[in-house]
Structure formats: C-alpha cells, structure tokens
C-alpha cells in the first residue's frame, strides 16, 4: 500500500471556474495561466478542464511543447518571453506567442530567421518595476516592433501590482494609457484580481491564473463569497496513529506544544516533504472525519499532528483533508502567513495526484 496521502484534481471545478471567468469578462478572450505546472495541479491533468479557453499562458518552453503534444493547437503565450536566440526556433516551430519586455528580446527577434512572423505582447512597465518598457519608451518600442519583419500582431500588455489590494489599478491604468496613447491594437492587462474586481481593465484578453484553481488572489477566502469558484485541488490523507497525551506532555520536535489537559492527538501522513508548510503554527485548520480541528506541534518531514478533541470518534484510517473541497486553501495559507498560490505550487512530486 502507498501512503494514504494524495492530491485530487477536480476537472469539473476547473471547467466551472473558467466559466466564471467568462461570466465576469464576457467580451474578452482568456489566457488561462498554467505556469508552474498549472499552479501545481499538473499541466496534463489541468488541460482537460481548461480546454474551453482561448489560449494558455505559461513560462517554460518545455511546458509549451507539452501543451502542443496534448493536442492544443490554439494560442500559447510565453509570459516572460524568451531568454536565448535558440528559444526563438522553438517559438517559431510551435507557433507560440511571446511577451517582449526588453531591447535584448527585441534585438534577438530582429536577428532571428523565422518561417513566419511571431505574434508578440509588448509589455509596458506601468509601475510594477519588474519587466517591461517604461511609458516614456513604449511608443518607440512599439514602432520598432512594427518595423521588425519577424513580428506579426502586437498586443499591448501590462501587469498589475495591486489589483487585489485597496490601492487598486487606477494609477497603473493611467500610466498605461499615457504610455499607450494613440497606439492602436488589442490589449491584455487583467490578472485574476483585475478580472474579478476591475472590469475597466478587461479589454481584449484577460490573464487569470489563481481563480481558475478556485483560490483567492487576495489570500482571503471570504473575498470569493458569491463568486461561484470551486477548489480545483483537494489534498487528503489519513490518520496513521493516535496518541493519548497526559497534561504537561509535549508533542513532536522541539516540544513546542504542551498539553494543557489530557487529550488525544492524531498523526497524519503528510509533512513538509510533501509540500505542507513546516511553518504551519498551532491552530492551522485541518479537517478530520469531516470535523474542523487544527495542527498542534511542529510539522515534521513526513507527518503532522492534530488535536482530536473535537473528533472523539476518529481513529487510524480516519480521512484527513489538508485543504480542498471542505477547507479553503486560502485559510490554511493565511494561518501559515502565505497565500494559496504558494501552497498549491509546492505540492511535492512524491505526492500521488489523480484527476477526477
């Protein structure tokens, strides 16, 4: 028998979440963002649930090729562009669309030998200060792209830093409009947060990632109330042992938890080597036998321990949900001081994953 830990990918939830995006941005096409192995869900496993999209956005050439091999003939966008001249051969061969965010990339495209022009998304740095041309240099970059024989369609693109915070998008939108003034062309601006909360950013293409997987861009599960998203991944395991602990006894490495009364502890087959965060403090939510309880003691490599006080009946073999259908990944992430994105991306290769 393998360890009882596994992740389940909910294909119907992915399809539902894509439909939710369509409802929010009915006039836009969708780049379904599947970078980082579909946010940890597995590209091949996520693909069937998302195939009603208009295009896929990702980072690695290898993942782009894999999508083609899965039978996807539609648009694929390289969200960071490319890194070396030889990457352009792959872009050409597999008909990929690429971000262009720098003169180095522009120059590589000017020098490339291509069988046909490459469609590009010309990225403006509208305030995030990671990638892209400044608003002042944007028009010149666009003219240079237009003059490049190797470049086909040019979409105007930027990325928001605060679409999920009270700061919002207005400042970056104004900067974008200033830099893009008088430039015709389709536009691609909105990440998940902007797709949900800033309709003025939708334009021709939206680029949602996290909401396709049913988690919140802001890190607060409450922010998704009424939106209609469903979790695309459930991470579940079982109790492999229980312990009676007397008052004053401790649990696990570092003895960081001391029982204040006699209690039962459940030992779950899931640890930080499976991707569960070691930093998860006492109180991090866990569901055992359908009942909400929480982590006690330090998460170890292959196991974690939970308080069985609210679940008197739970014994070895009891089902444990670490996150998923009954426990928002955002709530687990919040307790750990991070966001759902990081937890789903961190599920370790040793965890068996199946799609349903």
Ligand X SMILES: *Cc1c(COP(=O)(O)O)cnc(C)c1O
Annotated catalytic residues are 35, 253
Rounded-to-integer distance, Cα 181 and Cα 149, Å: 24
Least Å from the CB of residue 327 to ligand X: 20
Nearer to ligand X, 222 or 326 (CB): 222
Least Å from the CB of residue 256 to ligand X: 33
Nearest partner of 140 among 98, 81, 182, judged by Cα: 182
Nearest partner of 100 among 137, 69, 67, 70, judged by Cα: 137
Rounded-to-integer distance, Cα 99 and Cα 79, Å: 6
Binding site for ligand X (CB under 6 A): 33, 35, 79, 159, 191-192, 207-210, 217
Nearer to ligand X, 35 or 294 (CB): 35
Least Å from the CB of residue 178 to ligand X: 20
- Give 222's DSSP letter: G
> Which residue's Cβ has the minimum distance to ligand X?
209
Q: How far apart, in Å, do the first and last CA atoms of the chain sit?
A: 21
Pairing of strands 250-251, 285-288: unpaired
Instruction: Confirm or deny that 301 is annotated as ligand binding.
Output: yes
Nearer to ligand X, 191 or 305 (CB): 191
Least Å from the CB of residue 39 to ligand X: 7
Nearer to ligand X, 23 or 244 (CB): 23
Q: Is 85 helix (H, G, I), strand (E, B) or coil?
A: helix
List all residues 6 or more positions away from 307 whose beta carbon is below 8 Å from its beta carbon. Answer: 263, 265, 266, 293, 294, 296
Q: What is the DSSP string of 106-140?
A: HHHHHH---SSPEEEEEEB-SSS-SSSB-HHHHHH
CA dihedral 223, 229, 235, 238 (to 10 degrees): 90
Nearest partner of 259 among 248, 271, 267, judged by Cα: 248
Instruction: Confirm or deny that 130 is annotated as ligand binding.
Output: yes
Pairing of strands 97-100, 118-123: parallel
Least Å from the CB of residue 81 to ligand X: 10
Nearer to ligand X, 211 or 311 (CB): 211
Annotated binding-site ranges for substrate: 130, 301
Annotated binding-site ranges: 130, 301
């Amino acid at each position: 028998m393998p360890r009882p830990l596994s992740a389940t990918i909910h294909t119907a939830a992915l399809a539902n979440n894509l439909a939710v995006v369509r409802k929010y941005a009915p006039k836009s096409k969708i780049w379904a963002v599947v970078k980082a192995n579909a946010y940890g869900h597995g590209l091949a496993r996520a693909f069937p649930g998302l195939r009603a999209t208009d295009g896929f956005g990702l980072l690695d050439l290898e993942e782009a090729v894999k999508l083609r091999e899965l039978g996807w003939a539609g648009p694929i966008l390289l969200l960071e562009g490319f890194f070396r001249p030889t990457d352009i051969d792959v872009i050409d061969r597999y008909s990929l669309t690429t971000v262009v965010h720098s003169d180095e990339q522009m120059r590589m495209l000017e020098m490339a030998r291509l069988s046909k022009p490459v469609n590009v998304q010309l990225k403006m740095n509208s305030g995030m200060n990671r990638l892209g041309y400044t608003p002042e240099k944007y028009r010149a970059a666009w003219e240079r792209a237009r003059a490049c024989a190797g470049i086909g369609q040019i979409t105007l693109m930027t990325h928001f830093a605060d679409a999920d915070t009270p700061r919002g998008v207005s400042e970056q939108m104004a900067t974008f409009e200033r830099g893009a003034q008088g430039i015709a062309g389709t536009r691609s601006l909105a990440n998940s947060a902007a797709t949900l909360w800033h309709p003025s950013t939708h334009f021709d293409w939206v680029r949602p990632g996290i909401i396709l997987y049913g988690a919140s861009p802001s890190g607060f599960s409450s922010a998704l109330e009424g939106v209609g998203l469903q979790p695309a991944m459930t991470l579940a395991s079982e109790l492999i042992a229980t312990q009676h602990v007397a008052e004053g006894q401790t649990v696990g490495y570092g003895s960081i938890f001391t029982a204040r009364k006699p209690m039962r502890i459940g030992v779950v087959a899931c640890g930080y080597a499976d991707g569960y965060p070691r930093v998860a403090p006492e109180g991090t939510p866990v569901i055992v036998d359908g009942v909400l309880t929480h982590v006690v003691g330090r998460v170890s490599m292959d196991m974690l321990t939970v308080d069985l006080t609210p679940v008197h009946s739970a014994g070895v073999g009891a089902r444990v949900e670490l996150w998923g259908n009954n426990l928002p990944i955002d709530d687990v992430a919040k307790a750990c001081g991070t966001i759902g994105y990081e937890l789903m991306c961190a599920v370790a290769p040793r965890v068996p994953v199946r799609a349903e």
